[in-house]
Amino acid sequence: MSEVLEGECLCGAIKYRVEAAPIVSGACYCGDCQKTSGGAEAHGMMFPAPAVTIVDGEPKTFGLTVDSGNVVFRQFCPDCGVHVISWNSAAPEYKAIKVGTLNDPSVYRSQGSLWVSSAQPWHRPDPDLPQHPKMPCVADLSATG
Ligand SMILES: [Zn+2]
Ligand SMILES: [Zn+2]
């Protein structure tokens, strides 16, 4: 996979670049991702935080305290509302990008499904990939792929 990835929000006001290979990639079925996606699972790729840079525009950042007590930060375009980048206060050394915002989303390869305990009956997690009831640690995820 290319070591440089680029993406943008729907209107193009926010552009980002990633200069690293993904640490882990997967689909999240948690209730919060269902809300931000509009219903579907959220496909994401996680990178070392310093490798993810905003190269154009000023995203807004929304922080939400989740059940663990950690804060999940989501960065989104203030114009079109599309969510591009997120990270967790428990692991700020990583940042995840939303796969659908990549200029070439075809580079994505899911390594597993997260939070399938929250998946809707009409969600169909990939039966050929590991399914995690909640959020496993990053080391576990990396080991799967
Ligand atoms: Zn936008
Ligand atoms: Zn989620």
* pLDDT tens profile 101-115: 999 999 999 999 999
Distance in Å, CA 114 to ligand 2 centroid: 7
Angle at alpha carbon of residue 8, lines to 137 and 51, rounded to 5°? 45
Phi and psi (nearest 5°) for 138?
Answer: -60, -35
- Number of neighbours of residue 105 by Cβ within 10 angstroms: 14
Amino acid identity, residue 30?
C
- Full-model pTM: 0.90
Assess whether pLDDT exceeds 50 at residue 61.
yes
Domain 4-144 has CATH 2.170.150.70: yes
Number of helices (H) and strands (E) in the chain: give both, helices first.
2, 10
Distance in Å, CA 42 to ligand 2 centroid: 6
**Dihedral angle over CA of 38, 138, 72, 11, nearest 10:** -50
Distance in Å, CA 142 to ligand 1 centroid: 31
